[in-house]
Amino acid sequence: MSHGLEARLKTKLVVQAAVRLCAQRAVPIIVARRGDEDAGTILVKLNRGDLGCTVLAQTRGNSGELAWLRATGEAPVDEPTADAYIARQVARDPDVWVIEIEDRDGRPVFNGPVL
């Protein structure tokens, strides 16, 4: 099957679903930057307080499935480092969405494995 024919949800709908899920869990979430509503990629800044931040970048796995890449590396980074990474990505891709989640437990709100 061609990956081009795979039905993909519009980015705006994926983000709205994450916002609703966080609201149900009483987890603070902010859409810090709106990108392309149909096909923008998503960056998630997962802020775990004094445990640090991880930026997850939306990607595709080997067979085309949605996955998340720890864009700032395996270990958490401080907030200024995470913000600087996000700023570089936004400068490169004006269609990107930026979602900020404050959750000390770091629970996933988007489908797909973290690579």
In the chain, what are the domain boundaries? 3-102
Q: Is the pLDDT of residue 76 over 70?
A: yes
**What's the one-letter identity of residue 59?**
T
Average pLDDT over residues 92-99: 96
**pLDDT (tens digit, 9 = 90+) per residue, 16-48?**
999 999 999 999 999 999 999 998 999 999 999
pLDDT at 5: 39
Is residue 21 helix, strand or coil?
Answer: helix
Of 103, 82, 115, nearest to 18 by C-alpha is 103
- d(Cα 55, Cα 79) in Å, to the nearest integer? 10
Average pLDDT over residues 44-54: 96
Task: Using the Cα atoms of residue 12, residue 90, residue 30 and residue 28 in order, give the sign of their dihedral.
Answer: positive
- d(Cα 79, Cα 84) in Å, to the nearest integer? 9
The rounded mean pLDDT for the chain is 90
CATH topology of domain 3-102: hypothetical protein tt1805 (3.40.1530)
Of 78, 98, 80, nearest to 89 by C-alpha is 98
> Are the CB atoms for 102 and 53 separated by under 8 Å?
no
